[in-house]
């Protein structure tokens, strides 16, 4: 399939996996690719590359209400979370006893991505809607006594879209004198994100979730409270030494352009996508009255819903939707592309056979009313086949 076919004939509803690159991002990337200089060089060519990076830094900072100097560019959300959490926790541990609390529904780059000492990670449970148990956190913060604490909780979940009470968690953590990071990868560019209003010490974002290039991301620090002394990638002094190596100017420029566009249209786009998402959700409820829309009573991202229909297997349904021209996802498809049991749904206590059938629909800047109509038609086909099979088995 060519890229043109991919955009003209297919219905792409997998923006939480990655969102197609916006035209203004392609322009910025091409412009930056043509710059000959290294941003560390003092000559005019170097200064032009530096200007691209610093311009992008301002735009990314604006997206999350941060100070420009507190944005550190990385290769994406995964590296950003690693950069914050691995050295962050090690640093705390150097000063005495340290505890690390991580939400049960976090992305694997937070749950699994770090070189934490054996048994160091303590999991904050979530309720049946996937929302953090703040009472558990409060009790465990109290019980941590003199130990220094680091907490990592996401702003919104990639599989269900469920939003977390991060500001409340931050207040509890700061009362205890601890530090808190939020993974804002799915939230940034989709809902307003303001690092000061959230009250977190660090947040991490990724450009490709809102129309930027894959391989772009950032750590955003609220202040120098969050010491990243033990850097992951060492060498030259790029990114103030937080992340050595010649900067990927094109990816950074594209990331900046995506941040600028996402911020400019944020409120209207959220309203537009929520209406389309609700329409898609209503269609599936009409077609399959026994559908479960996961955490439909929770506050969710405007672009996301996840659903399961008893008897519908995610693996076969994904293929059926794909053949009908619709790209969806199941569980967290981030790493292997394989359908595996979701730790998020497990943590929410979704019944395992139902959880195995959960499909995720995630809309974005390319999604149109026509896409939703075609999605509903594909649902009629895929679900219709299931109901026929069920009827003949009965």
Ligand X SMILES: Cc1ncc(COP(=O)(O)O)c(C=O)c1O
- Token digits for 241? 């030494």
Give all strands (DSSP E) within 40-124, no chain letters: 71-74, 98-103, 121-124
Binding positions for ligand X, 54-73, rule CB under 6 A: none
* Choice from 158, 238, 248, 304 touching ligand X (CB under 6 A): 158
**Considering the complex, what minimum distance in angstroms separates the CB of residue 22 from ligand X?**
16
* Choice from 19, 70, 152, 206 touching ligand X (CB under 6 A): 206
DSSP secondary structure string for all residues of 154-202: ESB-TTT-BB--HHHHHHHHHHTT-EEEEE-TTTTTTS---HHHHT-SE
User: What is the dihedral angle through the alpha carbons of 199, 243, 33, 64, rounded to the nearest 10 degrees?
Assistant: 0
Q: Is 19 in contact with 211 (CB distance < 8 Å)? A: yes
- Token digits for 363? 């809309």
Q: C-alpha 219: how far from its chain's center?
A: 13
Query: For residues 373 and 1, what is the distance between their CA atoms, to the nearest angstrom?
Result: 23
Residue closer to ligand X (CB basis): 76 or 93: 76
- Token digits for 278? 């609700």
DSSP secondary structure string for all residues of 28-82: HHHHHHT--S-TT--SHHHHHHHHHHHHHHHHHHHHTT--GGGEEEESSHHHHHH
Q: Is 109 a known active-site residue?
A: no
Binding positions for ligand X, 167-186, rule CB under 6 A: 183, 185-186
* Choice from 50, 52, 76, 141 touching ligand X (CB under 6 A): 76
- Token digits for 347? 């943590």
**Considering the complex, what minimum distance in angstroms separates the CB of residue 181 from ligand X?**
11
Residue closer to ligand X (CB basis): 342 or 379: 342
Query: For residues 25 and 50, what is the distance between their CA atoms, to the nearest angstrom?
Result: 18
* Choice from 52, 71, 77, 178 touching ligand X (CB under 6 A): 77
Query: For residues 208 and 18, what is the distance between their CA atoms, to the nearest angstrom?
Result: 6
* Choice from 19, 70, 78, 164 touching ligand X (CB under 6 A): 78
3-state class (DSSP) for residue 123: strand
Paired sense of beta strands 304-308 and 98-103, if any: unpaired
Query: For residues 387 and 287, what is the distance between their CA atoms, to the nearest angstrom?
Result: 10
Query: Nearest-CB residue to ligand X?
Result: 77
**Considering the complex, what minimum distance in angstroms separates the CB of residue 185 from ligand X?**
4
Decide if residue 154 touches ligand X (CB under 6 A): yes
- Token digits for 382? 């895929």
Decide if residue 152 touches ligand X (CB under 6 A): no
User: What is the dihedral angle through the alpha carbons of 187, 192, 193, 196, rounded to the nearest 10 degrees?
Assistant: -160
**Considering the complex, what minimum distance in angstroms separates the CB of residue 75 from ligand X?**
8
**Considering the complex, what minimum distance in angstroms separates the CB of residue 17 from ligand X?**
7
- Token digits for 378? 């594909």
Residue closer to ligand X (CB basis): 216 or 367: 216
**Considering the complex, what minimum distance in angstroms separates the CB of residue 160 from ligand X?**
11
Residue closer to ligand X (CB basis): 216 or 291: 216
Residue closer to ligand X (CB basis): 87 or 93: 87
Binding positions for ligand X, 91-130, rule CB under 6 A: 107, 109
Residue closer to ligand X (CB basis): 157 or 367: 157
Residue closer to ligand X (CB basis): 107 or 176: 107
- CA distances 309 to 19, 149, 257, 284, 285, Å, are 26, 41, 39, 10, 10
**Considering the complex, what minimum distance in angstroms separates the CB of residue 47 from ligand X?**
29
Lay out the site mask for ligand X across 17-36 (x = CB under 6 A, - = otherwise).
--------------------
* Choice from 87, 103, 217, 364 touching ligand X (CB under 6 A): 217
Please identify which of the residues 147, 324, 334, 376 carries the catalytic annotation. 334
Decide if residue 189 touches ligand X (CB under 6 A): no
**Considering the complex, what minimum distance in angstroms separates the CB of residue 277 from ligand X?**
17
Positive or negative, the CA dihedral 55, 81, 307, 388 is positive
Residue closer to ligand X (CB basis): 77 or 93: 77
Residues that bind ligand X (CB under 6 A): 76-78, 107, 109, 154, 158, 183, 185-186, 206, 208, 217, 334
- Active-site residue set: 334
């Amino acid at each position: 399939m060519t890229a043109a076919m991919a955009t003209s004939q297919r219905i792409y509803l997998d923006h939480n996996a990655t969102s197609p690159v916006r035209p203004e991002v392609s322009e910025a990337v091409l412009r930056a690719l043509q710059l000959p200089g290294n941003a560390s060089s003092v000559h005019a060519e170097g200064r032009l590359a530096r200007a691209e990076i610093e311009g992008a830094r301002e735009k990314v900072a604006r997206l999350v209400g941060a100070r420009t100097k507190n944005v550190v560019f990385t290769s994406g959300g995964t590296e950003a979370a690693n950069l914050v959490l691995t050295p962050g926790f090690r640093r705390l541990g150097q000063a005495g006893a340290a505890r690390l609390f991580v939400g049960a529904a976090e992305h694997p780059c937070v749950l699994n991505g770090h070189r934490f000492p054996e048994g160091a990670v303590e999991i904050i449970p979530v309720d049946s809607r996937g929302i953090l148990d703040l009472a558990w956190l409060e009790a465990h913060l109290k019980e941590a006594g003199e130990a220094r604490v680091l907490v990592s909780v996401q702003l919104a979940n990639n599989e269900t879209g469920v939003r977390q009470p991060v500001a409340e968690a931050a207040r509890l953590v700061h009362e205890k004198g601890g530090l808190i990071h939020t993974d804002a990868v799915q939230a940034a560019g989709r809902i307003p994100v303001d690092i000061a209003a959230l009250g977190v010490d660090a947040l991490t974002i990724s450009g490709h979730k809102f129309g930027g290039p894959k391989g772009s991301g950032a750590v955003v620090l609220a202040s120098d409270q969050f010491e990243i002394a033990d850097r992951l990638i060492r060498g030259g002094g790029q990114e103030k030494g937080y992340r050595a190596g010649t900067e990927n100017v094109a990816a950074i420029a594209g990331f900046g352009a995506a941040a600028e566009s996402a911020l400019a249209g944020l409120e209207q786009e959220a309203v537009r996508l929520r209406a389309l998402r609700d329409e898609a959700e209503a269609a599936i409820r009409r077609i399959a009255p026994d559908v479960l829309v996961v955490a439909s009573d929770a506050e969710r991202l405007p672009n996301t819903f996840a659903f399961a229909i008893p008897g519908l297997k995610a693996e076969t349904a994904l293929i059926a939707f794909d053949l009908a021209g619709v790209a969806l996802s199941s569980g967290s498809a981030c790493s292997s592309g394989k359908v595996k049991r979701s730790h998020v749904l497990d943590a929410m206590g979704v019944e395992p056979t139902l959880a195995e059938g959960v499909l995720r629909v995630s809309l974005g800047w390319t999604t149109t009313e026509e896409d939703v109509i075609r999605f509903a038609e594909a649902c009629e086909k895929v679900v219709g086949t299931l109901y026929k099979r069920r009827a003949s088995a009965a």
